[in-house]
């Protein structure tokens, strides 16, 4: 074996399973080949990381990239460009596209569209419907598939799995962790009239706390009965947290940067429908409860739920406006700002954005800085202070709910399998993303 490495990341403060400390990292053939004091090694390329922190690559396990069907809002190229510019090295993309990702052909189509166009690594979820329940066990085994996603209440798109017998059948149909959007469809329909035309402040009253609590209570009961691992996406209420705390043997929990940062009614007064998403952003007491859940370890991952819609769509009259806000590009800086403010340690940031994703989805060879793992790094300057601006946003939607916010802590490089893909805000290498590999499906394909 030659002693020459492809890349040496020199002198950074590295967040490894040992803690935070200065180390050099050597990369060969896309993997971490050595960690330690490597001043004398020979490398084709050297990245000077002195004064910077080297984190495991950030994995965003919830994004909507709109392709196929709605490429006017986003596509796999533009969404993944936004990801790497924001310091994200891999994304799990959602199935509520047109057509939805519910068949083998639709999954194969997404992978063929992704090849050579996506800048970060990627996995795709398969959507559950009453009609494909019988096929889910097979579909979730396809290589690069992150797992099954079910919308228990309707949101953007047509995907819905709301009847109890269908939810139970989907839970029994497969074995991998199943992800759910947890809002109760019957209650959403009953309360639709509470969404007052022109007043997005009514969004969290229509889609109220009980809508989320009821659904989460039901799906936890059904998953427990089925003996199935469950992942509850974007949890937003204080009331769901004790239910989840009683299900830690099989359930994992996600929340989002926007639910940890914004609060009602202020966000609707300031941003109007640009703060409208499902489940909604709620009053400050829920935000504080989510922070407590972060510090108690009840939250496993933070996903952005990047859900771009055009300004034209957002500027219709509520509730004829689509729900969703972009976030894949702002996730890292928003969370680093919370680190700087003392709400989150850097170690917990890493736990929530890479180690947690690897642990709960069984990602093969990603999620930690360790020898033999993929050389995926999010290199950050924890002292850099800048203002987030719409003009920085690479998503086709061209806006962010965080426009005008000054944050401390910014990504300065995104390295994927040893390739420097973003440096100082510039895209350096294009379209080299590959499917994420999962431990449970290493043999399929």
- Residues with a known catalytic role: 305
229 to 268: interface string for ligand DOR, x by CB under 6 A: ----------------------------------------
Q: Say how far apart CA 111 and CA 116 lie, in whole Å.
A: 10
Q: Which is nearer to ligand DOR, 205 or 373 (CB)?
A: 205
- Tell me which stretch binds ligand DOR (CB under 6 A): 322-330, 332-340, 403-411, 423-431: 322-330
Find the binder of ligand DOR among 176, 181, 259, 286 (CB under 6 A): 181
Q: Least distance in Å: CB of 94 to ligand DOR?
A: 6
Q: Which is nearer to ligand DOR, 278 or 329 (CB)?
A: 278
Q: What are the contacts of 401-406 at 24+ separation with CB within 8 A? A: 401/258, 401/262, 401/267, 401/271, 401/274, 401/275, 401/325, 401/326, 402/261, 402/330, 402/334
Q: How many residues bind ligand DOR (CB under 6 A)?
A: 11
Give the C-alpha distances (Å, rounded to integers) separating 273 from 79, 270, 319, 326, 433: 21, 9, 9, 13, 33
Q: Which is nearer to ligand DOR, 93 or 376 (CB)?
A: 93
3-state helix, strand, coil in the chain (%, to 5): 30, 25, 40
Q: Is 289 in the site for ligand DOR (CB under 6 A)?
A: no
- Residue 33 · residue 373 · CB < 8 Å: no
Q: Which is nearer to ligand DOR, 400 or 419 (CB)?
A: 400
Q: Which is nearer to ligand DOR, 277 or 289 (CB)?
A: 277
Find the binder of ligand DOR among 215, 278, 354, 407 (CB under 6 A): 278
Q: Least distance in Å: CB of 234 to ligand DOR?
A: 7
DSSP 408-439: EEEEEEEEETTEEEEETTEE-S-S---BPPBG
* CB-count burial class (<10 Å; 0-12, 13-18, 19+) for 219: buried
Q: Least distance in Å: CB of 181 to ligand DOR?
A: 5
Q: Least distance in Å: CB of 61 to ligand DOR?
A: 14
- β-pairing, 251-255 with 230-232? parallel
Find the binder of ligand DOR among 324, 326, 356, 401 (CB under 6 A): 324
Q: Say how far apart CA 155 and CA 279 lie, in whole Å.
A: 9
Give the C-alpha distances (Å, rounded to integers) separating 173 from 65, 94, 143, 217: 27, 20, 18, 20
User: Which residues are within 8 A (CB) of 320 and not within 5 positions of it... i.e. 6 or more apart?
Assistant: none
Q: Which is nearer to ligand DOR, 278 or 330 (CB)?
A: 278
- Residue 61 · residue 356 · CB < 8 Å: no
Site for ligand DOR in 300-319 (CB under 6 A): 307
Q: Which residues of 32-47 are buried (b: 16+ CB within 10 A; e: fewer)?
A: bbbbeebeebebeeeb
Write the Ramachandran bin of 121: left for phi over 0, alpha for psi from -120 to 50, otherwise beta. beta
Q: Least distance in Å: CB of 343 to ligand DOR?
A: 24
Q: Least distance in Å: CB of 160 to ligand DOR?
A: 11
Spell out the alpha helix ranges (H) of 230-278.
Answer: 241-245, 257-261, 266-271
User: Which residues are within 8 A (CB) of 351 and not within 5 positions of it... i.e. 6 or more apart?
Assistant: none
Q: Least distance in Å: CB of 64 to ligand DOR?
A: 4
Find the binder of ligand DOR among 61, 80, 141, 156 (CB under 6 A): 156
Q: Is 323 in the site for ligand DOR (CB under 6 A)?
A: yes
Find the binder of ligand DOR among 222, 277, 375, 416 (CB under 6 A): 277
Find the binder of ligand DOR among 16, 78, 80, 96 (CB under 6 A): 96
Q: Least distance in Å: CB of 33 to ligand DOR?
A: 40
Q: Is 70 in the site for ligand DOR (CB under 6 A)?
A: no
Find the binder of ligand DOR among 10, 53, 64, 286 (CB under 6 A): 64
Site for ligand DOR in 116-155 (CB under 6 A): 155
Q: Say how far apart CA 362 and CA 369 lie, in whole Å.
A: 16
- Contact positions vs ligand DOR (CB under 6 A): 64, 96, 155-156, 181, 277-278, 307, 322-324
């Amino acid at each position: 074996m030659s002693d020459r490495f492809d890349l040496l990341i020199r002198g950074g403060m590295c967040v490894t399973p040992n803690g935070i400390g200065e180390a050099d990292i050597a990369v060969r053939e896309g993997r971490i080949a050595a960690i330690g004091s490597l001043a004398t090694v020979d490398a084709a390329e050297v990245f000077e990381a002195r004064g910077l922190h080297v984190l495991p690559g950030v994995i965003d396990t919830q994004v909507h990239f709109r392709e196929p069907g709605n490429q006017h809002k986003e596509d796999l190229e533009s969404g993944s460009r936004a990801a790497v510019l924001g310091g994200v090295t891999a994304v799990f993309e959602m199935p509520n596209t047109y057509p939805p990702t519910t068949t083998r052909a639709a999954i194969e189509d997404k992978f063929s569209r992704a090849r050579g166009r996506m800048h970060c690594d990627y996995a795709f979820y398969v959507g559950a419907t009453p009609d494909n329940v019988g096929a889910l066990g097979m579909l979730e085994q396809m290589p690069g598939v992150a797992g099954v996603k079910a919308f228990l209440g309707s949101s953007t798109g047509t995907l819905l799995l709301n009847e109890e017998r269908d939810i139970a059948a989907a839970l029994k149909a497969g074995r991998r962790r199943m992800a759910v959007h947890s809002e109760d469809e019957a209650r959403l329909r009953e309360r639709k009239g509470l969404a007052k035309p022109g007043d997005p402040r009514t969004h969290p009253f229509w889609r109220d706390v009980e809508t989320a609590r009821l659904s989460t209570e039901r799906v936890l009961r059904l998953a427990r009965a089925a003996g199935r691992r469950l992942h509850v996406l974007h949890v937003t209420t204080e009331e769901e947290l004790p239910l989840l705390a009683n299900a830690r043997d099989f359930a994992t929990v996600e929340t989002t940067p926007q639910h940890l940062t914004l609060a009602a009614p202020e966000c609707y007064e300031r941003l109007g429908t640009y703060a409208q998403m499902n489940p909604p952003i709620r009053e400050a007491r829920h935000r504080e409860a989510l922070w407590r859940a972060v510090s108690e370890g009840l939250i496993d991952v933070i996903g952005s739920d990047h859900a771009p819609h055009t300004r034209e769509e957002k500027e219709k009259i509520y509730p004829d406006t689509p729900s969703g806000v972009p976030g894949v590009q702002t996730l890292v800086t928003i969370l680093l700002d919370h680190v700087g403010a003392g709400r989150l340690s850097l170690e917990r940031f890493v736990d929530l954005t890479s180690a947690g994703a690897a642990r709960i989805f069984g990602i093969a060879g990603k999620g930690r800085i360790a020898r033999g793992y993929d050389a995926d790094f999010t290199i950050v300057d924890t002292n850099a202070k800048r203002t987030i601006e719409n003009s920085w946003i690479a998503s086709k939607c061209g806006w962010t709910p965080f426009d005008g916010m000054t944050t401390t802590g910014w990504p300065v490089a995104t390295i994927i399998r040893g390739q420097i893909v973003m440096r100082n805000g510039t895209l350096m290498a294009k379209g080299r993303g590959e499917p994420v590999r999962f431990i449970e499906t290493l043999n399929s394909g």
